Amino acid sequence: MPSGGHYVRHFGVGSTSTEYLPQYIKGLHSETETGILNALTYIRYLEKHGAPALPGVLELLSHRSTKVRIAALECCGEIGVPNQETVNQIKPFLDSEDRLIRIAALYSVSLLQPPSQDRYRELLKLRQDKKEPIRLAAYRALGRLRNRIFGCLVSDALLAEPVERVIAIDILDRPPGAIQRAIVSLVCWYSLLETNADVRGAAAYGVARAGCAICSRIELAALSKIMRNDPDDRVRRRAVEGLTLYENILPDLAYRELVFALQDASPHVRSAGYHVSNFINRKRSIMGKQLAPPLVELLSDNRPEIRKKALDLLGWCGHAAIDAIPAIAATVIFDSDWNVKKAGVDALRSVIIGEWHPPKGKQK
């Protein structure tokens, strides 16, 4: 029996051709767990076209491996043959003590039957579990069911308790339909007025995620205002994370704001702003001249870690930051912090030579 690796090489993931379905069905009886999981993955991609494999998938519900049982449960739902026999075989797993199996069963039944408030509430409860793998599995299941439970999510995003509102806003994400996207955007804008910081933070990121190109300047201006003025650092951090989504639409405005985020009093907000360095590294010749002036202003900050980060970023700009050489040299000469001086020397070398070498060690 061929191993899972053979399927990976011969039948690429994502192929929806039923030409290879007999091989996939044969793979369900592989002697290795990997072979079975790979076969289930391909059958899931086929969706309703994988219906002939359903009997073999149902047999795997009694497999000794938990991973295989979970994958088989999810595959049953994604094949999407809503017959009562399939549902009856899945239902016993809804009461499983293993919460990962229970999540897979809830997901599968939700695909095969009309949406249920009870199943949605159960997944929402599991999303708040103490164990991270359980929370992530519930989050993935809710995300995949997003279009089927859209009404429940919108209702919770507006009316539920703060914890559930945050989860609902995060899961709403970026729906495919224009009308749905407009609804999500309105929900996020409305939620920005909330007193709860976690709800405001989720809404700030949601505004960017559910936005459209036409309104991008308005959205960016709103996120900029939140980043500068909100009293809670959790909200400011989510606003900064939202700003990073505009790097391809409005790069000049977005990255000027991210440089401003480096001045924030909270290290959590500043670390979110460090994303600007990735962009400079890709488009230093375009953005370097625009970002150098605000970075030079940061060299007078009273926090040494801010001055050091500003010098690192100036180094990333390369030749484009050549006008900043006097300010960098002054920092090297007069700054009292040894780490800042060293960063200044590295920045000078990078700006003059035009080659940037990342500093040793992990950046904070």
* Residue 69: CB atoms within 10 Å: 21
pLDDT at 214: 76
254 and 296 housed in the same domain:
no
Total domain count for the chain? Answer: 2
Query: What tokens were used for 198?
Result: 């976690």
Residue range 221-252, pLDDT digits in tens:
999 899 989 999 999 999 988 888 887 777 77
pLDDT at 105 over 90: yes
Residue range 127-158, pLDDT digits in tens:
988 899 999 999 999 988 988 889 999 999 99
**Domain holding 155: CATH number?**
1.25.10.10
Evaluate whether 347 touches 311 at the Cβ level (below 8 Å).
yes
Q: Which of 230, 250, 273 is the last residue of a domain?
A: 273
pLDDT at 93 over 80: yes
pLDDT at 271 over 90: no
Query: What tokens were used for 362?
Result: 């992990």
162 and 242 housed in the same domain:
yes
| pLDDT grade for 2, boundaries at 50, 70 and 90 | very low
* Residue 133: CB atoms within 10 Å: 10
Give the C-alpha separation, 267 to 42, whole Å.
Answer: 44
pLDDT at 254 over 90: no
| pLDDT grade for 280, boundaries at 50, 70 and 90 | low
205 and 297 housed in the same domain:
no
Give the C-alpha separation, 156 to 204, whole Å.
Answer: 17
247 and 305 housed in the same domain:
no
Give the C-alpha separation, 205 to 211, whole Å.
Answer: 10
Domain around 194: 146-273
329 and 237 housed in the same domain:
no
- The answer as to whether 123 is a domain residue is no
Query: What tokens were used for 60?
Result: 């795997």
User: Coil, strand or helix: which one is 212?
Assistant: coil
Q: Which of 273, 295, 322 is the last residue of a domain?
A: 273
pLDDT at 285 over 60: no
292 and 241 housed in the same domain:
no
247 and 169 housed in the same domain:
yes
pLDDT at 283: 53
Query: What tokens were used for 65?
Result: 């491996």
The percentage of residues in the chain with a pLDDT greater than 90, rounded to a whole number, is 37
For residue 312, what are the contacts with CB-CB under 8 A and spacing of at least 6?
277, 343, 346, 347, 359, 363
Most confident of 194-198, 259-263, 296-300: 194-198
pLDDT at 1: 34
Residue range 325-354, pLDDT digits in tens:
899 999 999 988 999 999 899 888 888 876
- The answer as to whether 11 is a domain residue is no
Q: Which of 211, 244, 273 is the last residue of a domain?
A: 273
- The answer as to whether 64 is a domain residue is no
| pLDDT grade for 363, boundaries at 50, 70 and 90 | very low
| pLDDT grade for 5, boundaries at 50, 70 and 90 | very low
- The answer as to whether 185 is a domain residue is yes
| pLDDT grade for 276, boundaries at 50, 70 and 90 | low
303 and 249 housed in the same domain:
no
222 and 196 housed in the same domain:
yes
**Domain holding 318: CATH number?**
1.25.10
- The answer as to whether 266 is a domain residue is yes
- The answer as to whether 166 is a domain residue is yes
Instruction: Between 356 and 73, name the one with better pLDDT.
Output: 73
261 and 167 housed in the same domain:
yes
Evaluate whether 208 touches 245 at the Cβ level (below 8 Å).
yes
249 and 349 housed in the same domain:
no
pLDDT at 232: 93
The amino acid occupying position 232 is D
Mean pLDDT over 70-84 rounds to: 89
HSE on the CB side for 199, CA within 13 Å?
Answer: 20
359 and 258 housed in the same domain:
no
pLDDT at 136: 92
Closest CA to 192 of 201, 179, 183: 201
